[in-house]
Amino acid sequence: MSESRIDRAVNGAMPPLHELSLADKGEETAHHQSQAQSPLRMISSAATAAKDITAKFRAAASALETGQLVKDAYFTLFESVGALEIMDPKMDSGYLKPGEALEDEYDVLQNLPPEEVLGIMDQLLCYEMAWYMGNPLSQTLFTSFYLDRMLWPQPKSLEDAKFDRDKRAAPGNGLIHVLLRAYCVGLIKTCDLAHRTIGGEQYYEEEDFVTNLYHRNLLTDVQTAEVKIVLEEAICWLEAEFALHEALKTALLSRLRFRKAFLVALDFEQGITDAQRPSGWEHCSEILPTLHETRHLGAVVEQSFSGKIQRRLASSVPPRPIVTISFDEACTFLGRLCTHSKEAYSILQYDGPSCAMNYVWYFQARQPQPSVYTRCLLQSLILHYTIVLDQRSIKRFVFDSLQEIVLPGSIMIDPANDDVEAPQDPRFQIVQKMNVFISRVADSYFEIFRAICMNRSRMRRMLCHLIIEWDNIQLEAEAMDTDLRDLTKEQPVVDPKAVGGEIWAFPLSSWAFYLKLQQMEWIVHLGFELDIYRVDELGGMYWQVSSASGEHSNPASRANTHGKREAINNCFTWIDFAMLQASATQSLADGLSCFFAFFANTSILPAPYGQFPYSNGSLRYALRMRPFLGLSIPEVPNYAQFAALASLPLADVPATSKSATKPHSASNNPTAEALALLDSAAEALRNARKEWEAISKASPKIARTTNCDDWWRADVKNVLRACIAANIAVGTAKKAVAGVGKGKGVTDVLRVVVGAEDGDKSKGGYHAFWVVPKVIAL
Amino acid sequence: MSHLTGLAPSDLPSELRFLQYPSSKESTYLPAIRQLISNDLSEPYSICVYRYFLYQWGDLCFMALDADDKLIGVVISKLEAHRGGPMRGYIAMLAVREEYRGKGIATRLVRMAIDIMIERDADEIALETEVTNTAAMKLYERLGFLRSKRLHRYYLNGNSAFRFVLYIKESAATLRYEDYDPELPPSA
């Protein structure tokens, strides 16, 4: 006996389906033994006239071959994947096995001992965290009979949100009607707040979070303050309850207090940037340990949850398993959520846009990555309506960035310009032009911040999109730069070596170029972290990093020198540091690039430099460089140029023909060119170590990390460890290679292991962006 | 979509027959195909998904059958202009019966599909596989595919995927089109 999807569709509110249901008529397999309403109920009104089309439908269908698909152009794979098969137990959530009941039975009004109330609270917390992890409510919280009773039918007021909804004198004790109810009300309201915060920012549905509420309302219209009172009353009630065992009482109290603290932490009624917010999160963190310590006092009441509730939530979705996580897991996740959310507020300690960007980058670089709620909270803190970091206008913020990077103390960004009212005054005209510039770039500028608030995979994909836009901005800004020269009375630097004998500052386009290069570097770096590159691609990709960081000398050196002394000094110390950072990145990337090129040229690493049945080096290179192929600058070299620049053997070219550097069979001694690569690697890595050591000594002010210095310093330390390991590896390789000869080939003297290859970064990986090969002398 | 396979290109069992899916024989083969593919899926594809592919691109589906005509392996794919851009071949499903894995059957099936796609002017070929499916990743990498991006929590079980792409023509790189969303709503 079974009930099919169609029954429910008909009983529900989908008018045209009464026709469809006729197909079931007379079918022996579907027994509609269930509900009060007939599934064949005809819908009729003045506007509709029902007509039996069974015969026509059957006649038309008989003209089709089995398997023939009748579809219009809009029926895509998406639609086909969304289709469900009625009567298939894995797809039809209404399907019942013989003898199976439509719903599980559970009486939410029964008296429960305190241990079980505690157990239910803890189980709810697990499901709540599973929801924050990105699972749908239907597989988590909405499997609870208590929440189901409270939320359906939709409560009209807070008083209505209770378990005894349709009975006058309800049985059940205070533990249920006071404590558990308050806990559930608090839980639902907190979910509402989280749901709104996440929904208001950018995230990816289903991969980060599932917003579906299944037509339920999470007490959206109820004020947080009212819910707080419910929790406070429950706390008072419990405190006066002398009959309870002390330990249980403490455990229950801590849970109610946590609910209240969590609710307060998520509530933005006083303004999202309210100074009290971080302490709210701290308060949650303080209560958490008690929750964890008293977890064993609770008794699980498994039957108070049921996956069958899903049937009433969404009929067009296949039945899916309840997502269960352990209480330990939930506490760990929640602990991190509280800590990260509290930390997020540090971004409001304003010290300029570079510092804010560093903050987001290092906030996000931690493993495990902050969860979607925290990442959305961070987005709200960065830009709330038109206020940046709780204090700057959008224009002022972008001006701050220009000032930091290219325009120290320039007339172009002088706030005093805004007071000039005479249209013929150059300052007035500068304001006009700069306003145009700001309106052109502002969205794209904040899009960088938004991109680095995403999950790591999306971050890379969004940046791939965004650099194209920044390439356009750079070109447009160049025209604006030229346009503004007359107004700013810029004088070129005379340099006989330069094209045309003079150098112009191009501040706006230089700024755009700087930001674009940063994004290019991030894209490649994230490629390493996300395991996008195969071992044989690492050398080439490090060459790419080196090439992008080498470009940095370009815009940074053009900083405008017509400005106020202090601002210039600031900008110059920053440029010195930025140059050092670019140079250190380039050295390390160069070193690793040469090191991997050595392996490729001596065939030590299992290189793909053989023949692929369907591909060649050039096609693979084109695919790899795809994010950058559309850019006007820097220009992407073609494959042959790239192979020569990165000292890599051309793939698919048999070893006998000419190539950039000839690959060598293992039995041979390495060529002089290959040995030279090892020397270059050693030299670059020596420099890298020195430069990264110098970086690690920079003050937070210089490094622009005043509010994220610990994270930044930890990151630099890991890079430094990678540098040291790479230096040691090159040393080992050089020593081993000296033993080549007398019948010993290069593969007889050394072996190389690349950690990323077995997918485990923790083994030998010091920094996700810097893959250091392990060299073993044989 | 799903790629359930193990592989080492050793000797193909000689009793196997490889053939293109004959659309006229849906009732003979489709139940076995569904059975084989849905074995490892928590949430199976409806018959609509199979028909979507097989009715439109039945000639891009290849099967391996043993001497008794039992289905041992199958590949299902499609080929069409991707969002108004390049001709993109897409390998949607690949499965080989567990006891037959590691014999090169999957590679053979995939190559048969790719060969036809190339014949039909494909610019590029794409697919997704779970990041933990090393066997499938090795198979495609040996054929020249590269990982182009990682798709966070792509599968219903919360696992992430890699998008693999193989360029067939140089022009594939320069054709501009939106390429940033998953091709398919995934299952499993």
- pLDDT tens sequence across A69-110: 888 888 888 888 888 888 888 888 888 999 999 889 999 999
Q: Residue B72: inside a domain, yes or no?
A: yes
Q: Do A615 and B187 touch (CB under 8 A)?
A: no
Specify the pLDDT at position A503.
85
Does position A182 have pLDDT exceeding 70, yes or no?
A: yes
Helix (H) or strand (E) holding A689: helix A672-696
Q: Do A531 and B185 touch (CB under 8 A)?
A: no
- pLDDT tens sequence across A674-704: 999 999 999 999 999 999 999 999 999 999 9
Query: A381 and A344 in contact (C-beta within 8 Å)?
Result: yes
- pLDDT tens sequence across B79-137: 998 877 899 999 999 999 999 999 999 999 999 999 999 999 999 999 999 999 999 99
Q: Do A464 and B173 touch (CB under 8 A)?
A: no
Instruction: Give the structural domain span for B62.
Output: 2-123
- pLDDT tens sequence across A330-349: 999 999 999 999 999 999 99
Q: How many domains does chain B have?
A: 1
Instruction: Collect all residues of chain A within an 8 Å Cβ-Cβ radius of residue B184.
Output: 77-78, 81
Q: Do B152 and A208 touch (CB under 8 A)?
A: yes
Longest pairwise C-alpha distance within chain B: 48
Longest pairwise C-alpha distance within chain A: 100
- pLDDT tens sequence across B39-50: 877 677 889 899
Query: A395 and A386 in contact (C-beta within 8 Å)?
Result: no
Average pLDDT for B42-65:
91
Q: Residue B174: inside a domain, yes or no?
A: no
Q: Residue B138: inside a domain, yes or no?
A: no
Specify the CATH number for the domain of residue B49. 3.40.630.30
> Coil, helix or strand for A671?
coil
Q: Residue B68: inside a domain, yes or no?
A: yes
CA-nearest residue of chain A to B51? Answer: A67
CA-nearest residue of chain A to B29? Answer: A67
Q: How do the domains of chain A map onto residue ranges?
A: 5-82, 114-345, 578-611+633-778
Q: Do A207 and B170 touch (CB under 8 A)?
A: no
The owner of tokens 């919360």 is B158
Instruction: Collect all residues of chain B within an 8 Å Cβ-Cβ radius of residue A533.
Output: 147
Alpha carbon distance A682, B68 (integer Å): 62
Min distance A537 CA to chain B CA atoms (Å)? 10
Does position A555 have pLDDT exceeding 70, yes or no?
A: no
Helices (H), chain B: 26-38, 47-57, 105-119, 134-142
Q: Do A207 and B154 touch (CB under 8 A)?
A: yes
Q: Do A623 and B172 touch (CB under 8 A)?
A: yes
Closest CA to A506 of A520, A517, A493: A493
Instruction: Collect all residues of chain B within an 8 Å Cβ-Cβ radius of residue A78.
Output: 184-185
- pLDDT tens sequence across B11-38: 688 889 999 999 888 889 999 999 999 8
A264-278, A560-574, B169-183: range with highest mean pLDDT: A264-278
**Percent of chain A beyond pLDDT 90?**
66
Count of C-beta atoms within a 10 Å radius of residue B9: 15
Please state at what angle helix A426-451 crosses helix A394-405, rounded to 10 degrees: 90
Phi, psi (5° rounding) for residue A494?
-85, 125
The owner of tokens 């005509």 is B69
Instruction: Collect all residues of chain B within an 8 Å Cβ-Cβ radius of residue A77.
Output: 49, 52, 183-185
Q: Residue B172: inside a domain, yes or no?
A: no
- pLDDT tens sequence across A509-534: 999 999 999 999 999 999 999 999 99
How many contacts does A have with B, using Cβ atoms within 8 A? Answer: 143
Specify the pLDDT at position A743.
80
Alpha carbon distance A559, A576 (integer Å): 11
